[in-house]
Amino acid sequence: MTIDLIEQRVVSCGRCPELVAYRAAVAREKRRAYRDQEYWGKPVPAFGDPRARVVLIGLAPGAHGSNRTGRMFTGDASGEWLYRALFRAGFANQAESTGRDDGLVLRDCLITAAVRCAPPQNKPTPAERAACFDYLEDEFAALTGVRVVVTLGRIADDSFHTLLKRRGSYRSPRAAFAHGAETAVSLPGSPAITTLASYHPSRQNTNTGVLTEVMLDKIFSRVRELTA
């Protein structure tokens, strides 16, 4: 199955009635700042290079970010931080991401998520995470040549390691989740992969100094080393 076909399935998904209702309500009611915009209001597909050697896994779409724009990490503060870092590292052609038609292109990089619908309070339930899991599995089956997986936050990290337990193997002991933690792993079709953990670029982390731009840049500098 190709990435395009997988993402078509993602966009048409209605597996979780609570999330279907929530994303639709957000898209209908809108935030005052975006009241003149048409919200996406559907599951958000992966975005980027289908031949990518680098895959980023996030948590879930933001209610007024990706759920509004229809593209991963687009239209909110988390995306502002992430795309600036990707631009500085040479993985993006521009530092801003405002909408699906803004001209942003990712090079050798693809962004996906553990959950594809915006959850209330950015907290998907275990059942919602499980309902989305096979999309992540299918994407990694379709992506050949992956060299580095960057997990943005603990839930993304746990999701990828769950996938490894089902389909892959460990070449080194799993590192405890921490910013910059590395684990060497293998997946069918991509035998030598490094998973690199990062704190999520959420406001909760960036506004408090838990994550700084220097820290995020170090993650992508390491990605460049691993893909050299």
* Confidence band, pLDDT 50/70/90 cuts, at residue 140: very high
Is the pLDDT at 9 greater than 90? The verdict is yes
Is the pLDDT at 83 greater than 90? The verdict is yes
Backbone angles phi, psi at 124, to 5 degrees: -70, 145
Is the pLDDT at 191 greater than 90? The verdict is no
Backbone angles phi, psi at 94, to 5 degrees: -155, 160
* Confidence band, pLDDT 50/70/90 cuts, at residue 208: very high
SS3 label, residue 95: coil
What is residue 115's predicted lDDT score, i.e. its pLDDT?
Answer: 98
Round to whole Å and give the CA distance between 93 and 88.
9
**For the purposes of burial, counting CB atoms within 10 Å of the CB of 29, is it exposed (0-12), middle (13-18) or buried (19 or more)?**
exposed
Q: For a pLDDT cut of 70, what percent of the chain falls above it?
A: 100
CA 218 to chain centre: 18
Higher-confidence residue of 144 and 124: namely 124
Beta carbons within 8 Å of 175's beta carbon, 6+ residues apart: 181, 182, 183, 197
What is residue 114's predicted lDDT score, i.e. its pLDDT?
Answer: 98
Q: What is the pLDDT of residues 55-70, one digit of tens each?
A: 999 999 999 999 999 9
Is the pLDDT at 161 greater than 90? The verdict is yes
Q: For the chain, which domains are there?
A: 3-226 (3.40.470.10)
Round to whole Å and give the CA distance between 17 and 131.
11
Backbone angles phi, psi at 194, to 5 degrees: -110, 125
Which 3-state string (H, E, C) describes 16-43? Answer: CHHHHHHHHHHHHHCCHHHCCCCCCCCC
* Confidence band, pLDDT 50/70/90 cuts, at residue 45: very high
**Look-up: residue for tokens 């292109």?**
105
Round to whole Å and give the CA distance between 48 and 112.
9
The CB density around residue 87, as the number of other CB atoms within 10 Å, is 17
Residue in 74, 25, 94, 85 with CA at minimum distance from that of residue 218: 85
Is the pLDDT at 189 greater than 90? The verdict is no
* Confidence band, pLDDT 50/70/90 cuts, at residue 78: very high
Is the pLDDT at 98 greater than 90? The verdict is yes
* Alpha helices, H only, 143-212: 154-167, 203-206
CA 204 to chain centre: 17
Is the pLDDT at 163 greater than 90? The verdict is yes
**C-beta separation of 197 from 181 below 8 A:** yes
Residue in 121, 131, 114, 118 with CA at minimum distance from that of residue 24: 118
End-to-end Cα distance, the chain: 28
Is the pLDDT at 1 greater than 90? The verdict is no
Total number of residues shown for the chain? 228
pTM given for the model: 0.97
Round to whole Å and give the CA distance between 180 and 183.
10
* Confidence band, pLDDT 50/70/90 cuts, at residue 197: very high
* Confidence band, pLDDT 50/70/90 cuts, at residue 171: very high
